[in-house]
Chain A
Amino acid sequence: MGEKVKMIAKERVDEITRQTAEPAWLKDSRLKAFESYLKTPTPCNRDENWHRTEVDALDLAALNVIVSDSKEKQAGKEPEVITQAFAHLGKKLPYIYTTPQNVEIGNADSELLSKGVIFCSLKTALTQHADLLNKYLSAQDLSKPDFAHDDKFYLMNQSLFNCGAFLYVPKNVSLDSPVLNVFTSGEETSIAVFPRVIIIVEQGAKAEFVNISTSAKSKKSEKSALSLINSSIGTLVGHGASLYYLDVSDFSTNTFAVSRVYNEVKKDAALHSSTVALGGWQIKSDIQTNLKEPGAKSDIRGVVLGAGSERYSFNTIQDHIAPDTASTINFRVALKDSSSSAYLGTIRVSKEGQRTDSTQSNKNLLLGSDAHADSIPKLEILADDVKCSHGATVGPADKEQIFYLMSRGMDNLEAEELIVQGFFRQVVQSCPVDGAGDWINTLVAEKIHSENPNV
């Protein structure tokens, strides 16, 4: 059973470390992160990166940090969210299901195990595979995102992460279907949780990973009982390897969800990442992709569907560090009611990043008359032989399209559903995971037809 302990404080780091019997290097890194956390000011919405968020409304002192000592166990009854995902993805997949109280693992695949694939909760990884983790979390890799230096929330996660998942795919091993990691904060309110996901795909290997984050839906927003779900996701795609990562989040209207994704892509490796954001009081997500060696490619996509007074803030950074790297970004945002979104997209090309090929596109569809979207592209290019393009649009839904569909018998919401699915299609249809497109369309339709969460 998870024990509720008040306040984010250094004692929490000690408690977490003690419970898991973590190696000393990890405790050191947590304490270092916590020191930096204390020194870093809390962001405010005047910061470019936090534009249009209401970070001030979150009272850190009112949050209960969950320090769970639960061990993972075999899954009992399959949770509904997982059943729904499997129905679309076509089969039962290995999964980890984490709540503030429990960690369950299901459908473990013994064949993968025999090939040396590790898919386990982060807690298990920290005790059973500590050396392997140390290799990647040390100075060499997965330690250099922009937000490592000055992002209070990232530092908070790095010092207090207490649940999550670890996937390790050894050299030349291919996973033909995804593994599933689900985190839900359930009915809990006023809590702070710090999930951390680490995905390592070694040279020549191939993997698919589906990450679902959710919470029980509440009828109305209660700002007095806000919860913070502060996640970090780190992926390392080795030489010639490929990773497909799909992230689906759908939180209640009293959840403040912050996530920091850091991807490292090595020589001739390919990363495909799709983010689907469907709800929450506020969603603040940074996705940084470092193309570290020649031939590295990344394809980062996202769909966001806002309603009520939800706020979304996505920040993508493409960092072309080596020559001959390529990246594409395609983010589509549809906003109902008075929801809002701020997208900040940075393409960065270092002096060494010659022959970079990079495109960035962000389109925003305003369905609600009070909806608002900002789109800010940023190019920081130091090399002189590059191809970079970016485009952004913000516009209302076409009334003639709505009328056309309504003249065919569809009501307003049915018309909206088709238009939004059409708007998202270019992003959704490119999902390499079988059935993922259908699944996303279903989730989008459900949200469009659900009652306004928090007008």
Chain B
Amino acid sequence: MAARDSKQESLLKIEDLWVSVEGKDILKGVNLAINKGEVHAIMGRNGSGKSTLSYTLMGHPRYRINRGSIIFKGEEIGDLPPNDRAKMGLALAFQYPVAIPGVSVSNFLRASVKSVRGQEIPVKEFRQELKAQMALLEVKDEFLSRYINDGFSGGEKKRLEILQMTMLKPALAVLDETDSGLDIDALKVVSTGINTLATKETAVLLITHYQRILNYVKPDFVHVFQSGQIVKTGGSELSEELEERGYDWVTQELTPSGVA
């Protein structure tokens, strides 16, 4: 487990974050701190608000922050548009990435990398880097000439998300249910991608409701998410305990009477 240095400023610091969607409160006081290079997993049932947290971090206009703050690299980002957050080094791998017909993956990747890095990269250099990452994720060349997520299988969509993360090299990659819908082979490949991504330079926030991806990606911290809050935090052993005992165990532990 990475040691927390109290003097070091966190990469991401979320304090008492309350978020609503169309008038309904979804996040109810989230607190979370992530330091440079750490891997955090947030686990929780469907509907517990995990995806709301990821969309809010990236700045989706549908999500309204009512209270609290999101400090990224020492700056409040709650009011910034998504592209400014991306340029600061925040990236989101979507659970359900949209299809954009007519826009090829290669054009899109070039435009993204150019925007995030703030400069044009020479074509040859870009190609080399891309080919290396594609090999790692076992992505075929023909992928590049296809349109973004258009007619992609679930597995292909997730690979494209991770491929983007490895090309964008963010300071913090938020991976929203990147493991869902993957068969075991695809899960291994995607996990390899995540492990390459998680370096000293890139912290990872892995959002999932299954323990199984954590067999391949070892988190430094595991948080249990329930009813719009983080209710329990531990090391990687916590995920195994959850797998064994289920989310109800956390619920019961939190309820003094032992009745959920």
A residues neighboring B (CB under 8 Å): 398-401, 403-412, 414, 418-419, 421-426
Interchain CB contact under 8 A, A406 and B82: yes
In the complex, per-residue mask of B116-147: 1 if CB is within 8 Å of any chain A CB, else 0: 10000000000000000000000000000001
Residues of B within 8 Å of A398, CB to CB, are: 98
CA distance A407 to B54 in the complex (A): 12
Q: Which of B59, B60, B81, B111 contacts A418 (CB 8 A)?
A: B111
In the complex, per-residue mask of B91-130: 1 if CB is within 8 Å of any chain A CB, else 0: 1101001101111000110011001100000000000000
Q: A406-B82, A408-B164, A418-B108 are in contact. Are A401 and B102 (CB under 8 A)?
A: no
Q: Which of B59, B82, B102, B116 contacts A423 (CB 8 A)?
A: B102
Residues of B within 8 Å of A418, CB to CB, are: 100, 103, 107-108, 111
User: What does DSSP make chain A's interface, helix, strand, loop or mixed?
Assistant: helix
Q: A419-B100, A419-B103, A422-B103 are in contact. Are A407 and B111 (CB under 8 A)?
A: no
Q: Which chain B residues in 178-196 approach chain A with CB under 8 Å? A: none
Q: Which of A400, A425, A426 contacts B98 (CB 8 A)?
A: A400
Query: 7 closest Cβ contacts across the A-B interface?
Result: A422-B102, A409-B115, A425-B102, A408-B112, A422-B103, A409-B116, A409-B86
Question: B13 in the interface, Cβ–Cβ < 8 Å?
Answer: no
CA distance A401 to B94 in the complex (A): 12
Q: A409-B83, A411-B83 are in contact. Are A403 and B60 (CB under 8 A)?
A: yes
Residues of B within 8 Å of A405, CB to CB, are: 100, 108, 111-112
Question: B87 in the interface, Cβ–Cβ < 8 Å?
Answer: yes
Chain B nearest CB: distance from A182 CB in Å?
Answer: 29
List 21 A–B pairs whose Cβ atoms lie within 8 Å, in order of A's numbering.
A403-B58, A403-B60, A403-B61, A404-B98, A406-B81, A406-B82, A406-B83, A407-B83, A407-B85, A408-B83, A409-B83, A409-B86, A409-B87, A410-B111, A412-B83, A414-B111, A418-B100, A418-B103, A422-B147, A424-B102, A425-B103
B residues neighboring A (CB under 8 Å): 58-61, 81-83, 85-87, 91-92, 94, 97-98, 100-103, 107-108, 111-112, 115-116, 147, 164, 168
Interchain CB contact under 8 A, B103 and A403: no
Interchain CB contact under 8 A, A407 and B91: yes
Residues of A within 8 Å of B92, CB to CB, are: 407
Interchain CB contact under 8 A, B115 and A410: yes
Q: Which of B60, B81, B91, B100 contacts A422 (CB 8 A)?
A: B100
Residues of A within 8 Å of B82, CB to CB, are: 403, 406-407
* Residue of B81, B91, B111, B116 ringed by the most chain A CB atoms within 10 A: B111
List 17 additional contacts besides A404-B100, A405-B112; criterion CB under 8 Å. A399-B61, A401-B98, A404-B97, A404-B98, A407-B83, A407-B86, A407-B92, A408-B108, A408-B115, A408-B164, A409-B83, A409-B87, A410-B115, A411-B83, A411-B115, A412-B81, A418-B108
Residues of A within 8 Å of B83, CB to CB, are: 406-412
CA distance A418 to B58 in the complex (A): 20
Residues of A within 8 Å of B115, CB to CB, are: 408-411, 414
CA distance A422 to B171 in the complex (A): 30
- Which partner residue on chain B sits nearest A429 by CB separation? B102
Residues of B within 8 Å of A407, CB to CB, are: 58-59, 82-83, 85-86, 91-92, 94
Residues of B within 8 Å of A423, CB to CB, are: 101-102
CA distance A404 to B168 in the complex (A): 14
Residues of A within 8 Å of B168, CB to CB, are: 408-409
Interchain CB contact under 8 A, B86 and A426: no
CA distance A423 to B116 in the complex (A): 24
Residues of B within 8 Å of A419, CB to CB, are: 100, 103
CA distance A279 to B114 in the complex (A): 29
- Which partner residue on chain A sits nearest B93 by CB separation? A407
CA distance A409 to B108 in the complex (A): 11
Residues of B within 8 Å of A409, CB to CB, are: 83, 86-87, 112, 115-116, 168
CA distance A425 to B115 in the complex (A): 22
Chain A nearest CB: distance from B123 CB in Å?
Answer: 15
Residues of A within 8 Å of B59, CB to CB, are: 407
Chain B nearest CB: distance from A351 CB in Å?
Answer: 39
Chain B nearest CB: distance from A332 CB in Å?
Answer: 10
CA distance A449 to B236 in the complex (A): 49
CA distance A425 to B101 in the complex (A): 9
Residues of A within 8 Å of B98, CB to CB, are: 398, 400-401, 404
Chain A nearest CB: distance from B66 CB in Å?
Answer: 20
Residues of B within 8 Å of A399, CB to CB, are: 61
Chain B nearest CB: distance from A403 CB in Å?
Answer: 6
Chain A nearest CB: distance from B135 CB in Å?
Answer: 22
Interchain CB contact under 8 A, B94 and A404: yes
Residues of A within 8 Å of B116, CB to CB, are: 408-409
Residues of B within 8 Å of A421, CB to CB, are: 102-103
- Which partner residue on chain B sits nearest A441 by CB separation? B107
- Which partner residue on chain B sits nearest A425 by CB separation? B102
